[in-house]
Amino acid sequence: MKLKDLESELFRLEHFERPKVALEQYVTGPHIAGRMLHTIHMSFGELQNRLVADLGCGCGTFCIGAAILGAGMCVGFDLDRDALETCDQNLRHLEVDRVNLVCQDLTTGCVARWHKTFDTVIMNPPFGTKHNKGMDMLFLKTALDMANTSVYSLHKTATRKHIQKMAADWKVNMKVLAELRYDLPASYKFHRKNSVCILNMRWIYFKNNNCVLSFDFWVFLKSYNQNCLLWIILSCSRSLACSTQLCRSSNNFRFRDQFARSVFIYEHHPVVCIQADSTTP
């Protein structure tokens, strides 16, 4: 499936009618979710016929998208029954099967039954701010315990050094695949503008009065599926050999429409290049 077709399907999904601030419920837009899923599928081959988990699945963007791309089975976890009901409605509306939903609090430590069960875990965890400090790392630790191979996760750019340190402590191989621009639309009553930010201003990018957060797209590899991986370009649909330089150009980011205010779009140059280790860890 082409990326634009996947995004078109994800645009059809219903989202939180009344998002719950205590759970930090924010929507992962179809452009970011579509780009992530398409890259995982095309560049890493970790969706086709795989057992996939979506932690904090909400209304099902990741698990539904993974199923559309051919995952063998997807399991979406969330403790919010309202969100799971919306996810179930989305599954019926898009006529997607091979998705199971589990209502469970993943922060209680009662996930032993899922230990090393899933080939791939995909998630956009809570930010871990205010009353939920550290929740992002708790989700990440849980995901690594549940995954047999890889975890793909979105995190604030501001937490990069901390996550790198924790990954080293946990003895997992971590790669930063891309830095994305993530627009946070007003979702709660205390948001006074159409587009708001609740993070440190140092990492904020303003454009057309829309406040945009800077995010990282990470991949945590427990093991490689092959002995050697070439350079990987997130913005392409396949792996290509390229230089070591981190390439960024104003052409790499553009405003496509009101829904994709500053989502990274591949145009002429690679946005982020990383190199995988030449040997299996």
Per-residue H/E/C for 91-120 = HHHHCCCCEEEEECCCCCCCCHHHCCCEEE
Residue 103 has pLDDT above 50, yes or no: yes
Give the predicted TM-score (pTM) of the model. 0.67
Each residue's pLDDT tens digit, 1-15: 899 999 999 999 998
Amino acid of residue 215: F
Asked whether residue 9 is domain-assigned, the answer is yes
- Which range of residues forms the domain containing residue 55? 3-228
d(CA 38, CA 69): 8
pLDDT band of residue 106 (cuts 50, 70, 90) is confident
d(CA 210, CA 261): 8
Give the pLDDT of residue 163: 87
Residue 120 has pLDDT above 90, yes or no: yes
Q: For the chain, what is the domain count?
A: 1
Give the pLDDT of residue 177: 83
Query: Which is more confident, 88 or 18?
Result: 88
CATH number at residue 139: 3.40.50.150
Asked whether residue 262 is domain-assigned, the answer is no
Contact by Cβ (8 Å): 35, 42: no
Asked whether residue 258 is domain-assigned, the answer is no
Residue 178 has pLDDT above 80, yes or no: no
pLDDT average, residue stretch 69-83: 93
Asked whether residue 238 is domain-assigned, the answer is no
Give the pLDDT of residue 219: 53
Asked whether residue 187 is domain-assigned, the answer is yes
Asked whether residue 248 is domain-assigned, the answer is no
Contact by Cβ (8 Å): 175, 211: no
Asked whether residue 281 is domain-assigned, the answer is no
- Among residues 40, 34, 55, the alpha carbon closest in space to that of 118 is found at 55
pLDDT average, residue stretch 209-226: 42
Asked whether residue 214 is domain-assigned, the answer is yes
